[in-house]
Structure 1
Amino acid sequence: MKKSAVALLSVLLLTLYSTPTSQAATINYYYSEHCENCKAFAPYWEKFVAEKSGEHQFEKKQTDASVENKNELLNRNMQYRGIAHTEIPAILVTDNQAGEDVLLIGLEEINLLPEILGENGRLIPGMESRELTSAIITRSGKMPTSLFYPFTLAALADASNPCALFVFIVATSYATVFCGRAKAVVYAVTFCATMFLVYLGAGLVGNRLINIIFGASPWITLMLSLGMLLLAVFHLRTALFPHQTRYSELPYRLKELIVKNASKCVSFGGAIASGVLCALVEMPCTGGPYIFALNIISKMPTASAVLCLLYYNLIFITPLLLCLIILLVAPQYVERLDVWRVAYRRWMHLLMGLLLLAAAFLGIINYA
């Protein structure tokens, strides 16, 4: 009887010390037999398992052969990515000590697996699961779905700002009336290109500065989101009280100066100068949404950040491009553009305020 009890106790102790909790992480690999990327990744997975089998617990889960495995991956996708479908190959890494985990989807993210498992095999310390997942997505060059929407909303809010539209319409209308449509088209194209390039350049510099100054500080997202809320209040105030334009439009004296000097802007050099000047003067008006967007992409690789900036600034100049199309197709309506701008100015501020509110709200949710 005593020998049986000792044998049972030995088995229990052996079981306790051989459980996965004594290992640094549990790594679940989701795959499908019909997935070409999974087939290509298989040799690397087997090699990684062979090298790290003593440090971690590994498990392969085939999603096309098990509804349970598929639903498990689907729930993780919903939890961390907000997407209601499964993508493979995917790896779920769970830190057995901290209880935090991270979901890697696609080969670009999976390639980062050795980086997120440090020398002790633990996940990056001090980061919650959602924050860590977002950081991994960004590091792989992709933008998380939860950040794509506030990024796009910030760009749309920037595009709704009437400042650049005012300068563009004044100079284009003057060029059309006094210099002919051909010269007006040259001005319009040059002005749009200049605004685009200046903002793109400012974005590249700003992106680098944010990365250097703030590093990985998560609170900067919250601070910028609160700043966006303040900007939204200014634009909503102007929508309700049209004469209250401080912090939401160009100063009245500067507008008068632009109108008086419109004749100097219609040349090629004048278009470049006015585009640069407008971009620099408008930065205080549009700087909030732009800095908010730059913070979102600050941890991305340079190539991915440039693509995001191209996307943002293309949205930003879309109203100017629409005015350019009107100039090309129906030049007789160019003189009415400023009338329309004045008539719908309050609605533009209302739209910008609501877009800023939405972007700020999503930014705060992402921080939380």
Structure 2
Amino acid sequence: MKKLVVLALFLLLACIHIPVLAQSPPPAVQGTGYQEVDSYRVERMVDGKQVVHLFYNQNCGDCLKTIPYLQEFEKTHPDVIFRYYDIREDNSYRQLLAVFSQEYGIDFSPVPVLFTGDVVLTGYREISGGLEDALYAPGAVTPETTPTAAAPSQTSRTGLTIPLVISAALVDGINPCAFSVLIFLLITIMALDTRRKMVYIGSLFILAVFTFYFLSGLGLFTIIQSAGISRAMSLIAAIIALLFGAVSIIDGVRGKPSQLLSIPESKKAIIDRYVKKISFPGALVLGVLVGMFELPCTGGIYLAILSLLSNRMSITDGIPYLLVYNFFFVLPMIVILAVVAFGIPVERLDQLRTEKRVIIRILMGLVMILLGILLLLEFI
């Protein structure tokens, strides 16, 4: 069942990504429509002509279709000024996009996004279907410029993102998969070696899990933004979060974890082999392996958070949030290591983990369903 779910996800991503790779980049945007950013201004009219501002990214699939469409539109509409900003090539354009987003009262919008008059259009379908009405509908004429604006703060553009990220990470971090491996590792070390070595190896294990998850999230974030599939990915993530959330709650009620949300039995033998080696390099390898194999346990929450972030900010802005998420994700493991180092028996923690497994499963399920609903609300 798990293999079919993973295969279906990869096939769906491939179907989305193939058209992006199949198209050649648009020609360089030049001429009077190209503007150097000398100040953060939202120009709506220039010399009696309405201005269309397009923010894009040449690695974005929808952008590859939108730019040629606008260039053809521009040829037949000399009464309109077009300006193009590649946010991937120039950081000042990303800052200008933030100013436009604040001025128009929206959160960060994935590219391509078009601003004209009082209208915001996102994605090729909206732009190609709504540009004519945006330009020539009654009341479309607007003041020439709005006052110069300061670049908006992170707080104003992201709202409750930080509390949401921290809460989701903490719930994700108490998942039974990583806990069970860490506790098994600590029990093995305590039986064969010193408490100091246990702290060193446990720390390396946690560092490896943190690094793997951060780099995986950064890679997926980059793919989502560069390919221009943030909206499609949000829908996929919402479905996965709702599905995995329901399964997690059912598992909690039944008191028995399903194969879909647990480390595969075939992979547990590999993990056991590295646990028994008890070496510093082995702890790093073990952390990476656990990060890979526990994705079915934790992937639903992480994917949902990545999709929410990709809808609200650029990769550069998102890196601090990924660092925060992954720190709080491993924080419960850091706490476990600390209390064991100060003398709490590992066996007592293992007993506590077993006793609270039902509550943890239900809590994780509720969080995934909440994130799935939040992702669906992004489409409204």
Counterpart of 2:35 in structure 1 is none
Candidates 226, 234, 242, aligned match of 1:221: 234
How far did residue 262 of structure 1 move? 2.9
Q: Percent identity?
A: 25
Instruction: Tell me whether 1:289 sits opposite 2:301 in the alignment.
Output: yes
CA displacement, residues 162-198 of structure 1 (integer Å, 9 cap, x when unaligned): 1111111100121122201011001111011111111
Residues in 2 aligned to 1:226 and 1:44: alpha-carbon distance in whole angstroms: 42
Residues in 2 aligned to 1:189 and 1:163: alpha-carbon distance in whole angstroms: 17
Q: Which has the larger radius of gyration?
A: 1
Instruction: Tell me whether 1:193 sits opposite 2:173 in the alignment.
Output: no
Candidates 233, 244, 262, aligned match of 1:249: 262
Candidates 268, 279, 289, aligned match of 1:277: 289
**Helix, strand or coil at the partner of 2:261:** coil
Aligned residues of 1:151 and 1:359 also touching (Cα < 8 A): no
Counterpart of 1:314 in structure 2 is 327
How many matched pairs? 265
C-alpha spacing 1:278/1:117, structure 2 compared with 1 (3 Å): same
C-alpha spacing 1:91/1:243, structure 2 compared with 1 (3 Å): closer
The residue type equivalent to 2:341 in the other structure is L
**Helix, strand or coil at the partner of 2:363:** helix
Residues in 1 aligned to 2:319 and 2:44: alpha-carbon distance in whole angstroms: 38
C-alpha spacing 1:103/1:332, structure 2 compared with 1 (3 Å): closer
Instruction: Tell me whether 1:202 sits opposite 2:216 in the alignment.
Output: yes
The residue type equivalent to 1:271 in the other structure is A
The residue type equivalent to 2:204 in the other structure is T
Matches for 1:42-61 after TM superposition, within 5 Å: 52=46, 54=48
Aligned residues of 2:301 and 2:367 also touching (Cα < 8 A): no
Counterpart of 1:134 in structure 2 is none
Candidates 285, 301, 310, aligned match of 2:314: 301
Candidates 352, 369, 379, aligned match of 1:340: 352
Counterpart of 1:34 in structure 2 is none
Aligned residues of 2:182 and 2:333 also touching (Cα < 8 A): yes
CA displacement, residues 106-158 of structure 1 (integer Å, 9 cap, x when unaligned): xxx9xxxxx9546x896446379xxxxxxxxxx98665226556544542342
Aligned residues of 1:141 and 1:301 also touching (Cα < 8 A): no
Instruction: Tell me whether 1:350 sits opposite 2:350 in the alignment.
Output: no
Counterpart of 1:36 in structure 2 is none
CA displacement, residues 205-245 of structure 1 (integer Å, 9 cap, x when unaligned): 111112234x1553432331121010011111111112342
Residues in 2 aligned to 1:291 and 1:93: alpha-carbon distance in whole angstroms: 25
C-alpha spacing 1:156/1:55, structure 2 compared with 1 (3 Å): farther
Residues in 1 aligned to 2:275 and 2:241: alpha-carbon distance in whole angstroms: 33
Counterpart of 2:378 in structure 1 is 366
RMSD, aligned CA: 3.7
Residues in 1 aligned to 2:273 and 2:352: alpha-carbon distance in whole angstroms: 21
Aligned residues of 2:274 and 2:286 also touching (Cα < 8 A): no
C-alpha spacing 1:364/1:52, structure 2 compared with 1 (3 Å): same
Instruction: Tell me whether 1:103 sits opposite 2:116 in the alignment.
Output: no
Residues in 2 aligned to 1:234 and 1:194: alpha-carbon distance in whole angstroms: 28
How far did residue 280 of structure 1 move? 1.0
Residues in 2 aligned to 1:195 and 1:236: alpha-carbon distance in whole angstroms: 25
C-alpha spacing 1:50/1:172, structure 2 compared with 1 (3 Å): closer
Counterpart of 1:160 in structure 2 is 174
Candidates 267, 289, 310, aligned match of 2:279: 267
Residues in 2 aligned to 1:52 and 1:157: alpha-carbon distance in whole angstroms: 52
The residue type equivalent to 1:201 in the other structure is L
C-alpha spacing 1:260/1:293, structure 2 compared with 1 (3 Å): same
How far did residue 325 of structure 1 move? 1.4
Aligned residues of 2:225 and 2:315 also touching (Cα < 8 A): no
Residues in 1 aligned to 2:115 and 2:345: alpha-carbon distance in whole angstroms: 62
C-alpha spacing 1:364/1:123, structure 2 compared with 1 (3 Å): closer
If the length of structure 2 is used for normalisation, what is the TM-score?
A: 0.60
**Helix, strand or coil at the partner of 2:104:** strand
C-alpha spacing 1:104/1:257, structure 2 compared with 1 (3 Å): closer
Residues in 2 aligned to 1:247 and 1:237: alpha-carbon distance in whole angstroms: 12
C-alpha spacing 1:236/1:186, structure 2 compared with 1 (3 Å): same
Question: Is there any run of 5+ residues in structure 1 with no aligned partner, and where?
Answer: 1-42, 57-89, 95-100, 110-114, 129-138
Aligned residues of 2:189 and 2:198 also touching (Cα < 8 A): yes
Aligned residues of 2:165 and 2:321 also touching (Cα < 8 A): no
**Helix, strand or coil at the partner of 1:250:** coil
Aligned residues of 2:171 and 2:363 also touching (Cα < 8 A): yes
C-alpha spacing 1:197/1:260, structure 2 compared with 1 (3 Å): closer
Question: Is there any run of 5+ residues in structure 2 with no aligned partner, and where?
Answer: 1-37, 51-97, 131-151
How far did residue 287 of structure 1 move? 2.0
C-alpha spacing 1:241/1:260, structure 2 compared with 1 (3 Å): farther
